[in-house]
Amino acid sequence: MKLFYREFGHGEPLLILHGLFGSCDNWNSLAKQFGEDYHVFVIDQRNHGLSEHSNEWNYEVMAKDIADFCEQHNLQKINLLGHSMGGKVAMFFSQKHAHLLNKLIVVDISPRYYPPHHHAVLDALQSILPERYESRKLIEEEFNKTTLDFGTKQFLLKNIYWKENADGTKQMAWRFNLPVIVENIENVGQALPDAEPFLGDTVFIRGEKSKYITDVDFENINIHFPKAFVKTIADANHWVQAEKPKEFYEMTMDFLRA
């Protein structure tokens, strides 16, 4: 699997994994900041962004993708940061590839099972056939008729692009592999399996207003990650790094430097 990535800075490697429907571009500003101290690789995961599409899509293969990426780039003892789906990928990676991992940063996701809860987003995405539209503006106007909140709409619309066909014609399309994501959406909620715990330094960063990591999750977190602690960023929701970038950067850097 060939993964697209952007690269910043020099030093110890820091790999960043986006969440569902995201891409490496969501992290550019923070990645440049982290790049002042670390060698940062911001990765598009399979079926997202500019990375290859595949019919196989689950945490096991996505974790292996990151291990293969490390081998391809001769990276050892990486620091790994993942948000939401990317955080779950990072947790799966820690179980199978702990020898490659230095410090682990998991953002607003816990090891537990999450029931499917993306129905509104998937319904909205499937209601739009980008190839039928002549401009992004027309798609945006149609998308605004859905019940999604403004922030979610803008986040998803970043995935619209002009796709060049084999015959040289162009059409609008989603960058993510929507059919495969729809077919396998239950995989996103998968719990971290029972396995040997990851004994390295670990931090879970959550948004105060988010429900993805609750106090009830602490016990389960510590079973899988005995050295983990949970840090909370005030007045932040699930997209904590976008809503509170300064606080998120400082909290992450404090952990990495410790």
Active site residues: 84, 238
DSSP E strand stretches across 10-152: 13-17, 39-43, 78-83, 101-107
Residue with tokens 């509104």: 120
Q: Which amino acid is at 144?
A: N
CB 201 within 8 Å of CB 227:
yes
Query: Looking at this protein, which amino acid is placed at residue 142?
Result: E
Query: Dihedrals φ, ψ of 242, to 5°?
Result: -85, -35
User: How far, CA to CA in Å, does 167 sit from each of 129, 135, 163, 180?
Assistant: 20, 20, 11, 25
Give the side-chain half-sphere CA count within 13 A for 43.
Answer: 32
Report how far residue 166's alpha carbon sits from residue 233's, in angstroms, rounded to the nearest whole number.
47
Distance separating alpha carbons of residues 82 and 109, to the nearest angstrom: 9
Distance between CA 91 and CA 74 in Å, rounded? 21
Q: CB neighbours of 196 closer than 8 A, spacing ≥ 6?
A: 95, 98
